[in-house]
Amino acid sequence: MALRTYMASMDSPHPERTLDLLEPDFRFLIALPGSEITGESKEDFAAYIA
């Protein structure tokens, strides 16, 4: 997936549609000052964006 497509989807009125763009074995780390958010699946990411 292209990063531009991902970012446009996340910035849209329906960021949950981004889940359709993710690979089945998707894992993520979102590092923010003072905290980290990690996940091991599309379901974890869905919970994060909810």
Mean pLDDT of the chain: 91
- 1 pLDDT band, cuts 50/70/90, is low
Q: Is the pTM of this model over 0.85?
A: no
Cα 26 to its chain centre, rounded Å, is 9
Q: Do residues 29 and 37 touch, judged by C-beta distance below 8 A?
A: yes
- Give pairs for 9-12: CB < 8 Å, separation 24+: 10/49
Would you say residue 7 has pLDDT above 70?
Answer: yes
Would you say residue 29 has pLDDT above 90?
Answer: yes
